Copies of this chain bind each other. A is one copy, B any other.
């Protein structure tokens, strides 16, 4: 008989909806050692929070995250609010003995991420665990990709090509949102979707991005300010007549040298006209290759270079079979899943780790590593695409950077 764990979630935007769906659905398909209870939804705007809680099925609401940090009944705090809020909430929650699931990117700066990783390391010693929400690790095709690599089916990995392509900013008259404001979002395409590309590549290959040379570019530098009087949809909104400055990147391009000798080419963009959510990964090794596109997330293409000469080719594997990661819990052979299911998988793995008193992955340390790469890309771009290490380096005052 599984125990229950009371959950509080901070934030109720797009990610809040996706996480709520996972809390609701995962226990119905997976045998969980801990059953999550959707206890408290936290948001600053009381009426909006109440409406969201009702829509998504949270038992009660709070308007100050300190309330749930201080609530002895809460066992897990899910941080789905903007990046600038992560560090404060996460550190307080961990110190209060709450397990933490924090949306990616972990933070808006390396310094914040370091603080969070330190807090997570300290908490882990007390059996309190933190996980960062790089949910795409739990897309079955990518989990399976990692397995193939780990089994050596690709041999020595030499090349990686990762592109996260969206086009929701193509219209020059699309309005400013918090995602285009560096103060709130930390960065643009780089942190929002490039972070996924970095984490997925490191996860699948087991190699870290050691050095990067990058370029950040903003195609449209001024946009109409958002009309705050109109209800906002998840990624867009209504425009007012005033204009504001876009302070984040529209496009991030970077090359990386990976710790195992591979060379990677990365792109994150919101200007790839016609690509709605095309997260593509290609990996080439001495014995094989992989190709993936999130627009067809139930498929993984695998090339086995050891096949007979006449039978070489990319095999389109429908990753929908009970033998594939996570799929036995869902539908019969050949029946697809969608975007939201990776959040359920993430929750399954988190709760399983918490129950087993083991560190869930990706840890805050993993999130910090991604943050270091994001930061290095940013600094490389500032420095004329000069090669920049992603490793922590000693600074003047003896701390690592």
Q: Which residues of B contact A289 (CB under 8 A)?
A: 272-275
A267 to B, closest residue via Cβ: B265
A326 to B144, CA, bound (A): 31
Residues A298-356 near B (CB distance < 8 A):
298, 302-303, 305, 309-318, 320-324, 331-341
A318 to B294, CA, bound (A): 12
The verdict on A276 contacting B333 (CB below 8 Å), with A24-B28, A55-B28, A159-B251 known, is yes
Residues A385-401 near B (CB distance < 8 A):
385-387
Q: With an 8 A cutoff between CB atoms, is A118 at the interface?
A: no
A297 to B334, CA, bound (A): 11
Shortest C-beta distance, A5 to chain B (Å), equals 17
The verdict on A336 contacting B161 (CB below 8 Å), with A309-B323, A331-B14 known, is no
Residues A152-172 near B (CB distance < 8 A):
154, 158-159, 161, 163, 166-168, 170, 172
Q: Which residues of B contact A55 (CB under 8 A)?
A: 28
Contact of A303 among B161, B273, B302, B341 (CB under 8 A): B273
Shortest C-beta distance, A63 to chain B (Å), equals 22
Contact of A274 among B144, B296, B305 (CB under 8 A): B305
Which of A221-229, A280-288, A366-374 contacts the other chain? A280-288
- CB atoms of B274 and A334 under 8 A apart: no
For A, the interface residue count at a CB cutoff of 8 angstroms equals 90
A296 to B256, CA, bound (A): 30
Most buried by B among A251, A274, A341, A387: A274
Q: List 15 A-B contacts (CB under 8 A).
A: A159-B251, A161-B267, A170-B284, A170-B286, A265-B265, A271-B284, A273-B305, A275-B334, A276-B333, A294-B336, A315-B315, A335-B340, A336-B338, A338-B341, A385-B386
Which residues of A are at the interface with B, using a C-beta cutoff of 8 A?
A: 14, 17-18, 20-21, 24-25, 28, 55-57, 144, 147, 154, 158-159, 161, 163, 166-168, 170, 172, 213, 215, 217, 219, 233-235, 251, 253, 255, 263, 265, 267, 269, 271-278, 282, 284-289, 294-298, 302-303, 305, 309-318, 320-324, 331-341, 384-387
